[in-house]
Structure 1
Amino acid sequence: MTVDDRFSQPVDILKDPALGTRNEIITGPVADWTTDFSHTEPEWAADPYPIQDELRRTCPIAHTERFGGAWLPTRYEDVAGIAYDTERFSSRSIIVGNFRPPRDSAPVGGTPPISSDPPFHYDARKLLLPAFTKTAIARHEEATRAYCHSLIDALEGRDVVDAAHDYAQYIPTRVISDMLGFPPEDEPRFRGFVESALEGVNLPPDDRRARMSELFDYLVAQVRDHVAHPRDDLTSYLIDVELYGSKLQPAHVAGTMALLLVAGIDTTWSAIGASLWHLARTPADRERLVAEPALLPTAMEELLRAYAPVTMARLVKEDMSWNGVDMKADDWVLLSFPAANRDPAQFDRAGEVVLDRQVNRHAAFGLGIHRCVGSHLARMELRVALEVWLQRYPVFTLADPSAVTWATGQVRGPRTLPIRVG
């Protein structure tokens, strides 16, 4: 079969992995966070840390009947234990929603390698590593820096800017679309794709399927364009690369592209925005970074720890007792890396931002086999975004703290962030 033949027919990505088979209502006011938690609620999005801290003290592995049954560990040791335990927990779906993918979608899952279980995971992940080494990512830094300056140039003359909407969201969108070889004029569509994938988890089945179909239809169209016009980018690489002696199946290519696009945008967008939010509301930290720019790489790791944007999920493989709780097959488990990062048993002064923290083995990029393959990329984008912002806007504050809004769901970051500059 030629490459053209593989993509000449419709690619049915959504037959099961993204949507699954069970419908559960998951939204509504929380009565008790120990027995009825929901990470999709406004109060969790606005400030989850007091909730996580209280759970860690009183009920370190919370439970809910929402989502068809789910668990929320809040101690570092529990989050790490589950993240490393691929024998008892599956990654076939990493976004908690109102559906579970069927068990036969493992070990590949809908968006490999993050949705993949061993042994397939190792080989699928290995395919991506060359594109995300430090050396490979360094080649994107000059263009990223220039783009950050151009974004701030466009804000010239404004006293108040939305650092999330007008700055943070554009940076990873441009970088990952360049890496995938997508047209820059399509970038406004990507925000909608991100929100559908990560924030639309309780939409009716037909609505969610329609939104996800729009994403995958776009990706398949890009694949076909690359088949017709090959070039040196990540999409062409995925089309041509071989696994087990054969080129990748169309669903694997499109699923991996969806992962890179959605995860590559939202996680870094959120990390940049949260860092700027902290510096805008904490003058001493902002002034210190302006005065000591060499501290930024260390400070950046602390900001990642304190405001880790990502929570991943696993599915319990079989009924079992785990650390004192009785988990059922196909229960969700939310791996709250943000909660793990604020565990005082793991970090001194865990609830504080300590810019010069020297020992900082945080879990912002995950733990275990699914640790973020794009961590070098995210670090480069975050560092460059902050360097350029602090250079151009050494003085800035929150224009209206009450107007800041945060994304709901498993990737948390500012969605509106009005900042007064100058």
Structure 2
Amino acid sequence: MTVDDRFDQRNYEERMRHRPAGVRNEIITGPVADWATDFSHAEPEWAADPYPIQDDLRQRCPIAHTDRFGGAWLPTRYEDVAAIAYDTERFSSRAIIVSNVRPPRELAPVGGVPPISSDPPFHHDARKLLLPAFTKSAVAGQEQATRELCHALIDALEGQDVVDAARDYAQHIPMRVIADMLGFPAEDGPRFREFVENALEGVNLPPEERILRAEKLFDYLMVQIRDHVENPRDDLTTYLVNAELYGRKLETAHVAGTMALLLIAGIDTTWSAIGASLWHLARTPADRERLVAEPALLPTAMEELLRAYAPVTMARLVKEDMHWNGVEMKADDWVLLSFPAANRDPAQFDRAGEVVIDREVNRHAAFGLGIHRCVGSHLARMELRVALEVWLERIPWFSLDDPAAVTWATGQVRGPRTLPLRLRRPSPR
């Protein structure tokens, strides 16, 4: 079989060279003067503990503003976050990561990483293509392999008194699951970590450097795509290569963009949720002991951990100048949709600032709201549940080795990057 012309490397590079340039803004970093008028989710104090900041803003300035990143807004009330998430008429999803580069309007309605970057009506059809791979039944078929991986990861911790549960456990699980789904080599896991960190944590780097880092990811994806064209197999990459929309096969940029979305979002969000859950249980012995004693409570507790430590904040771009809920938004202003802030709004949740692991009514927004609600929520829930089940079964006692040594990712996906846990020797299988 010859390589599909859509995936000819020279054609692809030529298209990339002639794609419209984004609007570039001044790089703004440094300490925050006032979170209401100068917020920055890229600063270390936000990464370390954003919840007091969000709670304060919700009381005195529920829709904060900053001139950084060329202008951005931060709603902190559930009702405001939900309203924007559902309003596709006035807010565009063509870019979902706030940075110093705004993708041009010509990218709409597809965006760079469809369907999460897509606006209606294209979004509906692009999302529909992915649904079969993420049904409950499809996800159930991956549970046994995920469980075996979790056991193998814990086997490798045997004899260690202190381990980094983020780097040695949580991060490996979604990297392997997504690699298997896409048909990528499992040994490329370290490269996936680099891609994730480049995409989500380098938002204040010079635009030229961000573009170079993004090109590394898409160069890798093009190699994988070409290999799947020449050697088709039963995986999600081959499915996307052969998929049709509106009577024709997907454009190269659509295939590569969707794969980038699955690789980045499918990995970082889940490892962050697993890591944050282990962090909470390590510092909250009562909750850890209860889940060890009552394993049937885990699905309920898991939803509460997702609510309290929701990892994901999405972004929108304002389509046109407008007065919105008391503020004057300008065309192409960023809007940060903080689902973590929405999940801790006392107007929406009783005891919003507490972790209540037996909370029965829990309509949290950890997987987003509106048309862009996470297509992989069943997969993420399975990975989180299995990761916690296996860990608590094998390592029922653990604690933070040094709370000050825990570090958190900066940017729009928050989770532990280093998580040193002290643990007793894992019990034999």
- Note the C-alpha offset of 1:27: 1.6
Alpha-carbon distance in structure 2 between the residues aligned to 1:274 and 1:18: 39
Task: Within 5 Å, give how 1:206-217 maps onto structure 2.
Answer: 206-217=208-219
- Note the C-alpha offset of 1:152: 0.5
- Note the C-alpha offset of 1:21: 2.4
Once the two structures are overlaid, the 10-residue window that deviates more, 19-28 or 66-75, is 19-28
Task: Within 5 Å, give how 1:201-350 maps onto structure 2.
Answer: 201-350=203-352
Paired AA for residue 321 in structure 1: H
**Aligned residue number for residue 7 of structure 1:** 7
TM-score, scaled to structure 1? 0.98
The superposition leaves residues 61-87 of structure 1 with CA deviations (integer Å, 9 ceiling, x where unpaired) of: 000000100000000000000000000
The superposition leaves residues 329-351 of structure 1 with CA deviations (integer Å, 9 ceiling, x where unpaired) of: 00000000000000000000000
1:109 and 2:114 correspond = no
Paired AA for residue 253 in structure 1: V
- Please give the secondary structure, in 1, of the residue aligned with 2:65: strand
Alpha-carbon distance in structure 1 between the residues aligned to 2:20 and 2:403: 36
Q: Output the aligned Cα RMSD.
A: 1.2
Paired AA for residue 262 in structure 2: L
**Aligned residue number for residue 192 of structure 2:** 190
- Identity, in percent, stands at 82
**Aligned residue number for residue 377 of structure 2:** 375
Alpha-carbon distance in structure 2 between the residues aligned to 1:55 and 1:16: 42
- Please give the secondary structure, in 1, of the residue aligned with 2:160: coil
Alpha-carbon distance in structure 2 between the residues aligned to 1:19 and 1:405: 35
Paired AA for residue 130 in structure 2: L
Q: 1:360 to 1:14 in 2, by over 3 A?
A: farther
- Is contact 2:134–2:376 with CA below 8 Å preserved after alignment? yes
The superposition leaves residues 251-300 of structure 1 with CA deviations (integer Å, 9 ceiling, x where unpaired) of: 00000000000000000000000000000000000000000000000000
- Note the C-alpha offset of 1:16: 8.3
Alpha-carbon distance in structure 2 between the residues aligned to 1:84 and 1:300: 26
- Is contact 2:27–2:205 with CA below 8 Å preserved after alignment? no
**Aligned residue number for residue 51 of structure 1:** 53
Paired AA for residue 186 in structure 1: D
- Please give the secondary structure, in 2, of the residue aligned with 1:185: helix
- Is contact 1:68–1:98 with CA below 8 Å preserved after alignment? yes
Q: Structure 2: give runs of 5+ residues left out of the alignment.
A: 425-429
- Is contact 1:67–1:98 with CA below 8 Å preserved after alignment? yes
Alpha-carbon distance in structure 1 between the residues aligned to 2:308 and 2:209: 35
- Is contact 2:272–2:416 with CA below 8 Å preserved after alignment? yes
The superposition leaves residues 104-123 of structure 1 with CA deviations (integer Å, 9 ceiling, x where unpaired) of: 11000000000000000000
Alpha-carbon distance in structure 2 between the residues aligned to 1:308 and 1:404: 18
- Please give the secondary structure, in 2, of the residue aligned with 1:355: coil
**Aligned residue number for residue 427 of structure 2:** none
- Please give the secondary structure, in 2, of the residue aligned with 1:384: helix
Q: 1:15 to 1:87 in 2, by over 3 A?
A: farther
- Note the C-alpha offset of 1:202: 1.2
- Is contact 2:3–2:230 with CA below 8 Å preserved after alignment? no
Alpha-carbon distance in structure 1 between the residues aligned to 2:378 and 2:326: 37
| Runs (4+) off by over 3 Å | 12-19
TM-score, scaled to structure 2? 0.97
- Is contact 1:16–1:101 with CA below 8 Å preserved after alignment? no
Paired AA for residue 366 in structure 2: A
Once the two structures are overlaid, the 10-residue window that deviates more, 294-303 or 13-22, is 13-22
**Aligned residue number for residue 174 of structure 1:** 176
